[in-house]
Structure 1
Amino acid sequence: MPGRPSPAVLLRLTTGTSSLDRYVMPPMLVAIAADLGVSLADVVAAAGAYFLVYGLTQPLWGFASDRFGRVRTMRVTLALAGVCSLLSALSPTVAALAVARALAGGFFGAAYPSTLVYVGDTVPPERRQRQITGLMVGVALGTALASVGGGLLADVATWRAAFVVTGTASVVLAVLLGALPEPASDQPRPRPMAAIRAIRRTPVALVVLCFALVEGAVLLGALTLLPAAVESGGASATVAGAVAAVYGAAVLVGSQVVGRLSATWPPARLIAIGGSFAVVGSLLVVVARSPWSAVLAATCIGLAWTSMHSSLQTWATQVVPGARATMVSFFASALFVGNALGAALVGGLAEAGRFWVVYAGFAALAVPLTVLATWRRARWSDPDAA
Structure 2
Amino acid sequence: MNNKCAVEYTKLVWLLGFAGFISAADNWVVSPTLPAIAAGFGVSIAQVGIVLTSYMIPYGIMQPVYGFLSDRWGKTRILQWIVAGLALGTIGCSIAASLWMLCLWRIITGFFAAGVIAVSLALIGDTVPLLERQKYVGRFMGIVFLGQGLSVGLGGVFANFISWRVAFIFFAILAFCTVGFLRKLPKDSPKSSHCNFFLETKRVTLSPKGLVIFPLALATGFLLLGLYSYLGAFLHEITGLDFLQVGLIVMFYGFACLAAGSQVGKLAQKIGSQKTIILGAFLSLITAFLLTTFPYWQAGLLATISLGMGYIFIQSTLATIAFDIASENKGLPSALIGLGLFGGGGLGTALGSLLLSLGGYQTLWLFFGSGIILFIFITAKLHFE
- The answer as to whether partners of 2:145 and 2:257 remain within 8 angstroms in 1 is yes
Q: Quick one: which of 287, 297, 303 aligns to 2:303?
A: 297
327-336 or 179-188: bigger deviation:
179-188
2:229 is aligned with 1:237: no
Name the amino acid aligned to 1:25.
V
Q: Quick one: which of 368, 371, 374 aligns to 1:368?
A: 374
Name the amino acid aligned to 1:221.
G
- The answer as to whether partners of 1:39 and 1:351 remain within 8 angstroms in 2 is no
Q: CA deviation at 1:189?
A: 6.9
2:290 is aligned with 1:284: yes
- The answer as to whether partners of 2:157 and 2:244 remain within 8 angstroms in 1 is yes
Name the amino acid aligned to 2:384.
W
- The answer as to whether partners of 1:214 and 1:369 remain within 8 angstroms in 2 is yes
Other-structure match for 1:48: 53
CA deviation vs aligned residue, 1:144-177 (integer Å, no higher than 9, x gap): 3201100110010000000001111111111210
Separation of aligned partners in 1, 2:252 and 2:53: 22
SS at match of 1:354: helix
SS at match of 2:177: helix
Separation of aligned partners in 2, 1:179 and 1:363: 43
Q: What are the residue-to-residue correspondences of 1:168-247 with 2, within 5 Å?
A: 168-183=173-188, 188=193, 190-233=195-238, 234-247=240-253
Q: Quick one: which of 81, 85, 89 aligns to 1:84?
A: 89
2:117 is aligned with 1:95: no
Separation of aligned partners in 2, 1:94 and 1:353: 24
2:34 is aligned with 1:67: no
Q: What are the residue-to-residue correspondences of 1:1-386 with 2, within 5 Å?
A: 6-183=11-188, 188=193, 190-233=195-238, 234-351=240-357, 354-376=360-382, 379-381=383-385
Q: CA deviation at 1:186?
A: 7.8
Separation of aligned partners in 2, 1:328 and 1:260: 21
Would the alpha carbon gap of residues 269 and 290 (structure 1) be closer, same or farther in structure 2, given more than 3 Å must change? Answer: same
Percent of pairs identical after alignment?
26
Q: Structure 1 segments of 4 or more deviating over 6 A?
A: none
Would the alpha carbon gap of residues 344 and 354 (structure 1) be closer, same or farther in structure 2, given more than 3 Å must change? Answer: same
Name the amino acid aligned to 1:144.
G
Q: Runs of 5+ in structure 2 lacking a partner?
A: 1-7
Other-structure match for 2:5: none
Q: CA deviation at 1:256?
A: 1.6
Separation of aligned partners in 2, 1:81 and 1:358: 31
- The answer as to whether partners of 2:74 and 2:189 remain within 8 angstroms in 1 is no
228-237 or 133-142: bigger deviation:
133-142
- The answer as to whether partners of 2:72 and 2:192 remain within 8 angstroms in 1 is no
192-201 or 325-334: bigger deviation:
192-201
How many corresponding residue pairs?
Answer: 376
Separation of aligned partners in 1, 2:142 and 2:327: 25
- The answer as to whether partners of 1:274 and 1:303 remain within 8 angstroms in 2 is yes
Separation of aligned partners in 1, 2:67 and 2:224: 23
